[in-house]
Amino acid sequence: MRKHYRLIYFLLVIVQVMLGNLLNLGPYIIISLLPLLILSIPIKHNDAAIMLVAFATAFTVDFFTHGILGLSVVALLPVAFLRRWIVVLVFGNEVYSRGEEISVKKQGLVKMILSLLIATAIFFAIYVWVDAAGTRSFGFNLLRWFLSTLISAPVQLLLSGLLDMGD
């Protein structure tokens, strides 16, 4: 198990709350670390535990930011539900059979980028759709989804190194 994983996870949740409260990049860009946090949960945990952690994490972020309570929860739970599918699609079944942790060191940069892009795209597709609630145009929502995914995925990749500590 990675050293100090829970502490780093907790600190990244605090960073996400600070990003939500202090960094406003306009209506088109949202930065979220939540998909990275869900992908980084150790493989040994079952899907129900991962979904419970996703709910608690997203609810905490929603509660302490000035966002809509439950918005991140609605967007993050499908990512947690599809986590096993994303891992098997990108990294293969070997990750589960060997009990390996997901990291850039073990799976490589390209696979990590792909997994983060998929998870982040799913997260923001739901987040933007629910947040708009039919009040914004399709073009605006599409641009918001694209830019948020394009900006958040590299930020998550840079921060994934913190979660690799102790591998």
CATH at 24: 1.10.1760
Contacts of 147 (CB under 8 A, 6+ apart): 28, 29
Contact 100, 87 (CB under 8 A): no
Contact 30, 19 (CB under 8 A): no
Which residue segment(s) compose the domain that 57 sits in?
5-163
Q: Find the helix or strand (DSSP H, E) in which 66 lies.
A: none
Pull the structure tokens for residue 18: 């600070």
Contact 55, 96 (CB under 8 A): no
User: Could you read off the pLDDT tens digit of each residue along the chain, which spans 167 residues?
Assistant: 466 778 888 988 999 999 888 887 877 898 999 999 999 888 888 889 999 999 999 999 999 997 788 899 999 999 999 999 999 899 888 887 787 777 777 778 899 899 999 999 999 999 999 998 878 889 999 999 999 999 999 999 988 877 664 44
Angle at 126 between CA 163 and CA 144, to 5 degrees: 90
Tell which residue, 104, 119, 97, 107, has the closest CA to residue 44: 97
Contact 162, 10 (CB under 8 A): no
Q: Cα separation of 91 and 49, whole Å?
A: 21
Q: What is the pLDDT of residue 3?
A: 66
Pull the structure tokens for residue 126: 């739901």
Pull the structure tokens for residue 103: 């990291």
Number of structural domains in the chain: 1
Q: What is the pLDDT of residue 164?
A: 64
